[in-house]
Chains A and B, each alone.
Chain A
Amino acid sequence: DAMVIQNPRYQVTQFGKPVTLSCSQTLNHNVMYWYQQKSSQAPKLLFHYYDKDFNNEADTPDNFQSRRPNTSFCFLDIRSPGLGDAAMYLCATSRTGGGYEQYFGPGTRLTVT
């Protein structure tokens, strides 16, 4: 089935140790998003790609970076994770244009020790 895949589902990293989260999609959608969701809170958009055009949210910390080497893959890099970065990280995709729903991956739960 066409879908959004995130690996790993659970990731443990040490304070300050760089970590990369992966997302891939078989939907051939041109827009990909990364959200951070903390417990009992709304998903918070970190950045999104419109094709190869990168769009960073104004309040996304510099500690968070992203790469999109091709249509199918997108990566979230956290350069120096802090305890406050422990959260669920959700990848989503959509087609261009208004009204197209976002399809979410299962998420990666990040723990920082």
Chain B
Amino acid sequence: TQLLEQSPQFLSIQEGENLTVYCNSSSVFSSLQWYRQEPGEGPVLLVTVVTGGEVKKLKRLTFQFGDARKDSSLHITAAQPGDTGLYLCAVSGGYQKVTFGIGTKLQVIP
């Protein structure tokens, strides 16, 4: 079973639309990270959320950590073609290990 469930797995939208990506688990985490990965490259950290209910903004991206610290969401406002990529949520476990969700592949069509 997957520790982190991400939905949707695939999303194709028109430029200018809004979207939300979800990351869910039955486990409680001390922190959660969101990464973005472009084809043929390694993931790049977007944000780390730590406190239950925390909201962080990164330009047009809004990240929220659930009150119970079991889930998180990523909302993109007015998506741009440059937002296209694989969005991964991840959590740190024992021995510094990072476990990734399956990812959401986003395509923004001009």
A and B from one assembly? no
